[in-house]
Amino acid sequence: MKKIAAELLVERLIDWGVDTVFGLPGDGINGITEGLRRHQDRIRFVMVHHEEAAAFMATGYAKATGRIGVCLATSGGGGIHLLNGLYDAKLDHVPVLAITGMQGPKLLGTGYQQEVHLDRLFIDVAEYNAMIHVPLHIPTLVDKAVRTALARRGVAHITFPVDIQQAPADADPWEVGAPARTPQTAPTYVASPGLPRPADLQRAAAVLNEGKSVVMLVGAGALGARTEVLAVADLLASPIVKTLLGKAVVPDDHPLTTGGVGLLGTLATEKAMEKADTLLMIGTNFPYTKFLPEAGVRTVQIEADPTRAGDRIPTEVPLVGDAAETLQALLPLLSRHEDRTFLASAQEDMADWREKMAALEGDHREPIQPQFLMRVIDRLADDDAILTTDSGTIATWAARHFDIRGERQFMLSGNLATMAPGLPYAIAAQIAHPDRQCIAFVGDGGFAMLMAEFLTAAGYGLPIKVIINNNASFGQIFWEQMALGFPEHGVRWEKEANFAPWAEACGGLGIRVTKPTEVEPAIAAALAHRGPALVDVVVNPDEPPMPAKVTYEQAKGFASAFLHGQGRGRSIASTIVSDKIDQLKH
Ligand SMILES: Cc1cc2nc3c(=O)[nH]c(=O)nc-3n(C[C@H](O)[C@H](O)[C@H](O)COP(=O)(O)OP(=O)(O)OC[C@H]3O[C@@H](n4cnc5c(N)ncnc54)[C@H](O)[C@@H]3O)c2cc1C
Ligand SMILES: Cc1ncc(C[n+]2csc(CCOP(=O)(O)OP(=O)(O)O)c2C)c(N)n1
Ligand SMILES: [Mg+2]
């Protein structure tokens, strides 16, 4: 068969080391699908049930591997469906290439069916955005797209008119008028140098050496710098605070960390931040600035992207560079802090906090406490498990009751904070890491949005595990309404769905759990199952995801919501009282 233009695209992706494309076929991409078929020995097409999931999978693949994720959708609706997943990649700074179909050149501009100019639609989301016009420049456009996605940690988009996909690969219809030919590029990428200037490193070291109480705030950009982060923290006697996306930077039970920060962070972190005189930020663009120290605290920030260095707090020494390389260069310039009292006090606060959290994980409470469920998963999961979760109260339970240890990874949509990627992320992670446990801990709301993807997992025999924290509500929003003083509206289903039969219908294992004693056996059975498994756990919907410090406004909001007609007063009050009693007993 004569080579078609779409093969040039597929071959170039292979040259870049791309081995997986997530997508859903359509008449706008039949040529590309044929290109993938012809090269299926070297590149896998993972067929999904919704293009949004394909984009989340590409993002999850990039998060799980550090490599570029690729998704494919047809013209019109298919491409439009990608958008939410692509924004997830953009906002969480991971490289993704989206490939879409487009109407053929002879019909463009005529209002033919599915004429949606995806290159225009994607202007805001994509760092690189191009339409293919002739076969000749396909390798060059792929090179530029991949390089841009990697360099800018974001989205690149190529839209490919359907007729050109099927054209002969060597078709060269027009002479170039300009004194130029298509640049012959190579599929290579080299990251910009990772080391800041020596003078900046000296200035940073001086600030850090002078600090009496230094706090380190580490984020997603420090995920590859665990050894260096721990070494610096030890030298500076500095508590390590982790953003949610940076949860896996250091293990949760390490004596040098006070865990998370923000609404679902720890009290130990809040206290350390209040007392800090110096802040060392590493690979983070943490958005909740109210949880950062007041102006006046001396700040050093290590950030790979110069546009984000100094974005969140007045920064005395911005260091533009790679987290691991920069910390390695800083280490010899730092002197050991002999006074360890600041760290010791943070460690006491953290021990206290861990006890408080453990007290909420009791197996004696009925209905099932979400914290108990999360801890059982934590206890039974492997030391290199990958946990994915969604926006919702589940994020709080995961942040506080699932520990990073060993090589565990953790993923959620951090900055877009969108519902639904938990399941597609787990599928992508499982494809990237066939031998690791990939567990999606999701809400009933987020799961229902893209639950068809469980069928995808079953179709490919992927042994992902889905654990549903089923509170029959959009729980997070319910608690937000309460804190604002508004009685709940539009957040609760009359009756919780039973998702276990869906798993069985897909050909997976499905278990429904309503009693605390059933939790552990069910999770163990799911983890031991060789194929995809789902455990649908009916949990206490009245358990609030409390911030470490409840503000006066939040407490007033709760009272006001009840005054204005909020129901469930008894069960909510009894849940909160039981929490307090458990914490006092502990
Ligand atoms: C329901 C919900 C609740 C949430 N609550 C919280 C909360 O309480 N606390 C919390 O922390 N988060 C919370 N989040 C997530 C939050 O919205 C942000 O997404 C998160 O805090 C950002 O983490 P980050 O700064 O580590 O990541 P990013 O915002 O992705 O920043 C990472 C930075 O590192 C840089 N970088 C990348 N690679 C490198 C490298 N090699 N070297 C140096 N720099 C590098 C990037 O350029 C980027 O600026 C919540 C999310 C949800 C969905
Ligand atoms: C796509 C999208 N729609 C709506 C929201 C607003 N939102 C955030 S959390 C949440 C509730 C999620 O419900 P569920 O998945 O059941 O988790 P729960 O909070 O109940 O644990 C909603 C509606 C969002 N973040 N993303
Ligand atoms: Mg829910």
Q: How confident is the model at residue 176 (pLDDT cuts 50, 70, 90)?
A: confident
Place of tokens 């610096």: 232
pLDDT at position 586: 78
439-460 pLDDT, tens digit each = 999 999 999 999 999 999 999 9
The confidence band for 478, taking pLDDT boundaries of 50, 70 and 90, is very high
**How confident is the model over 428-441, as a mean pLDDT?**
98
pLDDT class for 384, splitting at 50, 70, 90? Answer: very high
Of the residues 252, 285, 313, which should be mutated to test ligand 1's pocket, given the most ligand atoms within 8 Å of the CB? 285
Confidence (pLDDT) at 434: 98
The reply to whether 198-350 and 360-585 are identical in fold is: yes
Cis check: omega of the bond before 367, within 30 degrees of 0: yes
pLDDT tens digits, residue range 314-332? 999 999 999 999 999 999 9
Ligand 1 pocket, residue 473 CB under 6 Å: no
pLDDT tens per residue, range 67-108: 999 999 999 999 999 999 999 999 999 999 999 999 999 999
Mean pLDDT of the chain: 96
**Fold of domain 360-585:** Rossmann fold (3.40.50)
Q: How far is the CA of 545 from the centre of ligand 2 (A)?
A: 13
Q: What is the pLDDT of residue 219?
A: 98
Q: Is 78 in the pocket of ligand 1 (CB under 6 A)?
A: no
pLDDT at 213: 98
315 alpha carbon, distance to own chain's centre: 27
Beta pairing class for 257-260 and 278-282: unpaired
CA-wise closest residue to 536 among 373, 360, 363? 373
Q: At what angle do helices 323-330 and 198-210 cross, to 10 degrees?
A: 70
| Per-chain residues with Cβ under 5 A from ion ligand 3 | 443-445, 471, 473, 475
Average pLDDT over residues 194-216: 98
* Residue 362 CB-density burial (10 A; 0-12 exposed, 13-18 middle, 19+ buried): middle
Please determine, for residue 584, whether its predicted confidence score (pLDDT) is greater than 90: no
Mind listing the pLDDT tens digit for each residue in 544-556? 999 999 888 888 8
**469 CA closest ligand 2 atom index:** 21
The verdict on the CB of residue 246 being under 6 Å from ligand 1 is: yes
Task: Tell me the average pLDDT across 338-345.
Answer: 98
Residue 177 pLDDT greater than 90, yes or no: no
60-69, 509-518, 564-573: the lowest-pLDDT one: 564-573
The tokens 């599915």 sit on which residue? 114
Q: List ligand 2's pocket residues with C-beta within 6 A.
A: 390-394, 417-419, 443-446, 469, 471, 473-477
- Is the predicted pLDDT of residue 580 greater than 90, yes or no? no
Q: In angstroms, rounded to a whole number, what is the distance separating the alpha carbons of residues 513 and 496?
A: 12
Q: What is the mean pLDDT of residues 500-513?
A: 98
What confidence tier does 569 reach under pLDDT thresholds 50, 70, 90?
confident
Q: Which residue has the tokens 């939410």?
A: 84
The model's pTM: 0.98
Q: Which fold has domain 198-350?
A: Rossmann fold (3.40.50)
Contacts of 537 (CB under 8 A, 6+ apart): 368, 373, 467, 468, 469, 470, 513, 519, 522
Distance CA 61, CA 583 (A): 40
Whats the size of the chain, residue-wise? 586
For the chain, which residues make up each domain, given as ranges?
A: 5-165, 198-350, 360-585
What integer pLDDT is reported at residue 174 of this predicted model? 86
Q: Helix (H, G, I), strand (E, B), or coil: what is residue 470?
A: strand
Best CATH choice for the domain 5-165 from the list 1.10.1240.10, 3.40.50.970, 3.20.20.70, 3.40.50.2300: 3.40.50.970
**C-beta neighbour count of 585 within 10 angstroms:** 8
In tens, the pLDDT along 407-424 reads 999 999 999 999 999 999
